[in-house]
Amino acid sequence: MTNTNQNKAGWHLRQSYLSLPETFYSKQELQSVEDPQIVYVNEDLAKELGLEIEQLYKEGLPYFSGNKAFKGIQPLAQAYAGHQFGQFTMLGDGRAVLLGEHVIEGEKTVDVQLKGSGRTVFSRGGDGRAALGPMIRELIMSEAMYGLGIPTTRSLAVVTTGEPVYRENVLEGAILTRIASSHIRVGTFQYAAAKGIKKELQALADYTIARHDPQLEHHEQKYVAWLKEVVRKQVQLIAKWQLVGFIHGVMNTDNMAINGETIDYGPCAMMDSYNPATVFSSIDRQGRYSYSNQPYMAAWNLARLAEAMLPLLAENEEEALNQAQSIISTFGSLYEAEYLQGMGKKLGLFTLEEGDKELIQGLLTLMETFEADYTNTFRSLTFKTLEEGKLFQADQFKSWYEIWQKRLMRQEQNEEMIKQLMLENNPAIIARNHIVEGVIEAAVDRGQMQPLLELLQVLKKPYSSTSIPAKYAKAPGKDFDGYQTFCGT
């Protein structure tokens, strides 16, 4: 393990991942780029990391571009596997390198990774590079999720490389500096299990527990307890996704971070009009990762993790299988409780009672029937601005509204307290797909960065009750129907 204070900007990097067996990574030399330029530095995040902003601008570019290595640090490409749309594949970082863990205030650590930094041994024929558009998308979406209070990786910087990347067209190359609690995935454990060496699987599990759940290190059944904790974190994460209408797009097991953070913003998007079958990803032709399927796919992915962990759950194979099944079987009830509690808050309910599930589902059914905007419907209910839209004029809605009002009156809390609860759980602003596309187009095609900066500023306080520019809250018109997103690789 290497500990070092790297430079005046305040980096404190170490490499505990090197303590794992070498099967989990490949040492990687950085690949320099021709003419890097800073597009964006996330100053808020930099401050949270304890970095000096002025020095970061002065000396950060060579590090953000991969043109300069941190002294004493060996970049790594991490190995992992994954079920990609249900098909198992051995994988790894094909266009990213892990620089190490930055230590914040002497104890907390976060991974620092360069994404789009060039070929690795896991590139499988790809160029290992990234285009500017997808890197800006990840910047926007990850910061939007952070603003919404959803666990996520974050984007510290985006730089252009001065070199083209070749996809269907020639595009401008870019590198994103990503910050995560770690980049350990469900697929990392699948990779260890596929190798069939229990000692290596145990080393990975022990490392992960020590890093993320040290309170479990001395638990008499620490692997069982840890698997339960992973399930709990994923339940909370997916419920938060569903509550704001976020659709990940590629919930493969290699895109599921073990510590319950949203990771790998490829063909992700936010739902506009409510439709449980919504799919945005151009490659998800069967709807495997549709909005309504996300909880089921999270449980499916966790079942793959439990399979990988079987050798550690118990000495007896049957007992291990029973343990795994017992833990995974809790996902459904845990998720429903978490989701319903969150939906209750969106409707101003401080506690749930019998009939609330039907009340919630009744509204969602009406929203789907009348193609109501998901975000704006809840915001309208918060402020009781129900003049516009087919939904609010429908007799079925008026009947539902009357039942809802009677339900609210049974609570001890007064009207102002109810409104405050709704304000705290119903964002006014999300990263609207048509806005995101417009911002990316302005940046990539015209070199205009001001729309990006304005959007990022607005996304910092999505629950604000103060006035916001109307364009950010406005739902897209019908001309935006059929919107698709692409993975950007």
Q: Which residues are catalytic?
A: 254
Q: What is the rounded distance in angstroms from the CA atom of residue 288 to the CA atom of residue 301?
A: 12
Torsion of CA 53, 59, 63, 66, to 10 degrees: 140
Cα end-to-end distance, the chain, whole Å: 33
Number of helices and strands in the chain (H, E)? 18, 13
Sequence-separated (6 or more) residues with CB below 8 Å from residue 170: 164
Q: What is the rounded distance in angstroms from the CA atom of residue 142 to the CA atom of residue 228?
A: 26
CA distances from 448 to 39, 444, 451 (A): 11, 8, 7
Q: What is the rounded distance in angstroms from the CA atom of residue 100 to the CA atom of residue 49?
A: 14
Task: Select from 238, 267, 428, 271 the least CA-distant residue to 364.
Answer: 271
Q: What is the rounded distance in angstroms from the CA atom of residue 16 to the CA atom of residue 206?
A: 12
Sequence-separated (6 or more) residues with CB below 8 Å from residue 359: 347, 400, 403, 404, 407
Sequence-separated (6 or more) residues with CB below 8 Å from residue 45: 154, 155, 156, 179
